[in-house]
Structures are given as structure tokens and as C-alpha cells.
Structure 1
């Protein structure tokens, strides 16, 4: 991997929507201390309508489980790793994602909503284990991902908090589709077993690397959720939840891998070889804070 894989990349930041959302939450919660939640069977419901629409927006702190890039389906080209004992082990970094949802709440305690996880960049940090390449074989990539999920929840009977608001636990599940684009995937070899061998550095200390094909696609995803909703005003709820998500496989394209090495005389050698796809299974653990507004 060299800096050519990462230079000039502009990372999208979630700082503005995050700050805006937190400011809105703080304002609603402070003002909600002076409002009294309704005392019906379902806590904060202002009417006995059969159903009521709502909107929500929120922030999700997304943490990925450790994973491995391995060889995918055989398309008749060369395999990058070649056997089950070779792989790229690592994880996507923890990041904040902004979420929007629209749903319907029923008197029975059921809710259903369509939600969108807005596009966000996640960095991959891994380490390959090719033979004779040393223990330190760092890899990196960037994953841009979004989600569209249909989710259902059941709100259990709640209890009154000390300042008059009602808290209600809930459970939920959902399924949908997620899109992704993987780019800038490279594997470096800074400390090979033989410093003068085929993984030697260049004349200016350039590190030999392998550039892996990018990838993009869509995948089926499913989620499980447990949380609690607090009625901070009659029509405003603050939802705090944990969510487990199985995001499915991320695949690189069947395309050319770029192998950059340096000869003994210092000249650069670049080899291009078509390879089969590689794949990683992504699963995440997410802490979510949503502001839900009854319409």
C-alpha cells in the first residue's frame, strides 16, 4: 500500500447533523420537564385513535465485529489467498450514522416504520497473514454504506418516572436492503521475513503493496432491537436502544489485482493479475438515540 491509495480522499463528516440533532434533543428534554405526560394506559398517547403516524430522527454509534476477508466464489480466475488458512483479519472502525424514519403507532402497542441509515464512510483496518511476509502486514479500505429497513416494534406497559414522564420498554425486529461501495483496498508488507527478498523495499524506502479490486453492490440485512422510550412531552418521545444488525457480505469485484514490488536494482515492478472476488461478512452492534415525534 502506498499513499497513492489514500491521498486526496475527502472524508465525509457527520459533525453538523450530529450537533444539530443533539441541540434539538436538549431543547425538547429541557422544555419537557415543564410538561405533564398523559396518564392513559399507553402513556403519552394524546388520543385514542386506532393509529397515529410519527416521524423520528436520530444518531447511531455503529461498532463492527471483527471479521475476515477470504476468497469468495470461484469465477475461473486466480484466488487471492488460495486456501482457508490465509485471510485478511480486521474490522471496520466505529462511526456515527444519522438516521431518519417514518412510521405508524397502533393502540395495541405495535409500531412499524420505514427507516433510512444515511450514507457513511467506515474505514477497514486489518492484517493479512501471507507466508514469509512478516507478522505486520497492514491492510486498509474505505466502505461507504447506507441502509433501508422496514422495522416493527412492540411497546410494553411502562412506568412513571420521578418527574412525571412515562418510560416504556420495547422490542423490535426488521429487514431490508443495504448498499455499499468498497474502495482504496490495499495490503502492505513493511517487515517481511527476508528484507532483501522479493518483498524488499524500494530505493527511497517505498513499501511493496498489493492493490485489491474495489467492489459495490446491495445485500439483504436484518436487525434485532431492544430499547426504552421516554415521553418527554405529550407527543415527543426520546428512544434509547441497542441494535444488532447482520449486514451480510461485502464483496470485491472479479477484477485485476495490482502487485507492486521492487527489484534488487531498485526498479519498480508492477504485475496485474485477474482474481476471483474476495468477501467479508459484516455484523454490527449499535447504540441508537432517536427523537420520535407523534403527528
Structure 2
């Protein structure tokens, strides 16, 4: 290669560099995207309580005061580990800023607790199943790229609609068939989330997001209604006031983010 050819090649490379940088910058500076993901959540321990322990009409299920174990009357434990699904539409406003409209679904929430009714022994299993659907507006701040990984943090506000089926209280100390079954219910609560994760590029338009998330979906409630009481002496029905339990969870998720 002679001197003239070398000079021409250098000039061509220099002239082409701004175009490449500009193309990368334009891609990062804006545009819509779609994100789909799934993960597992671990709800925090929580207490199933009366909505009002002093309710008289209808009467509270638990009532006020301590139970057999010295704690306030109620059911202790919470929801079990369960799957969750994400669907979101987002927009990148700058290289470091993006927002999302996020829909989160928890299709299988299983309550597993132990009540402490007076004089009923230490084995008082409580169970129910439900689900939750939440919508959030989320803001993400993306950090600088480290090797091929880009960290981010985010926070979101929204609302959650939760549903819980009939709640079954078993009392083996009385008999194997002794149960009290109360009404389920549904409710809507203010919700919020905090998240942190990393993005890994898969292709020019596709990223893999791996995230940790803490979510507060508010309060899950049961309605006042008829409780079915089954004892060795027979079956009866009694009007009972509603109960409630908080739903907060930690989760890990994997999702694919496709840029249009």
C-alpha cells in the first residue's frame, strides 16, 4: 500500500466514524419497546386478621385479645411461593431513562397459615387460594454499560386487584372433620414496586432482563358473609365479619425486551 492509498483509507475511516456513533446514539436515545417476562415470588410473612376485631354485627371471626400462643387472635403465616407474569409496553426517552406501563399477574396465590383460637391446640391449619392483577407506571434509570451488561434501577406506582376464595380453618384438636369455612372476597388497593437488575443484549433489538423486585400489592380482603361451621355434633351457619391480610413479596424475574 503506497502513501496515497494509506491516506485515503484513514480519511475514509475518520469520515465514517461519526455516522456509526450517531446511529448508536439514535438507537439508544428513543423508541418504544415491548417486554414479556415471568418469575417466582416469595411473599413475606403476614397475619390474617379481622377487619375490625370489635365488630358485633356481624361478629368478628377472631375477636380482640390474645390467642393460645400469646399473640393477638388471628392466623399467622401468609402466602406461599408462587409464579408471576409480566407484560409491559415501554418507551426509552434518553440513553439513561425509560418508562413502562406494566401489567403484572399472580395467577396462583395460596394462603398457608396457622390460627390460634383459644382452647383449640397448636395445630390449626388455615388455607385458601386466590390471585392478583396489578397495573403500574414504572420509571427506570439505566446505568453505564459494564462489559456487555447494563445495570438499572426502577420504581413504580399503581393499583392491584386481588381475589381470595373461601378460607378453610381446620381444627384437628376437635376432630379430623372439624372445619370452619368463611366467605372469600375481592378488593382493590394502592400498589408500588422497587426493582433492580441487569440487561444483557441478545441481538440488535432484543435484550434479556434479569431483575429483583420488591412489591407491595396492598391488602387482600374477604367479605362479610355466612360461615359454615362443621363439628361432630353437626353443621351450622353463622354470619361473620370480613378479614384481611397484607400482600408484600420479593421476586426474581427474567424477561425479554424487544425494541421496535
Secondary structure in 2 aligned to 1:149? strand
The partner residue of 2:156 within 165, 174, 190 is 174
Deviation at 1:222, TM superposition (A): 0.3
Partner of 1:79: 60
What does the per-residue CA deviation read over 1:143-185, in whole Å, with 9 as the maximum and x for residues that have no partner? 121111111100011122xxxxx21111100011111221131
Q: What stretches of structure 1 of length at least 5 have no aligned partner?
A: 1-38, 161-165, 193-198
Could you tell me how far apart the structure 2 residues matched to 1:288 and 1:75 are?
44
The partner residue of 1:155 within 142, 146, 151 is 142
Could you tell me how far apart the structure 2 residues matched to 1:93 and 1:132 are?
27
RMSD: 2.0
Normalised to the residue count of structure 2, the TM-score between the two structures is 0.84
Normalised to the residue count of structure 1, the TM-score between the two structures is 0.74
Q: Report if the CA contact (8 A) 2:207-2:258 is conserved.
A: yes
Deviation at 1:46, TM superposition (A): 6.6
What does the per-residue CA deviation read over 1:237-269, in whole Å, with 9 as the maximum and x for residues that have no partner? 111111001111111101122211112xxxx2x
Partner of 2:246: 281
Q: Report if the CA contact (8 A) 1:45-1:235 is conserved.
A: no
Runs of 4+ in 1 over 4 A off after TM superposition: none
Could you tell me how far apart the structure 2 residues matched to 1:46 and 1:234 are?
13
Q: Does 1:261 align with 2:231?
A: yes
Partner of 1:19: none
Count of residues paired in the alignment: 233
- Give the number of the structure whose alpha-carbon radius of gyration is greater: 2
Partner of 2:167: 185
Deviation at 1:216, TM superposition (A): 0.9
Compared CA separation, residues 286 and 271, structure 1 to 2 (3 A): same
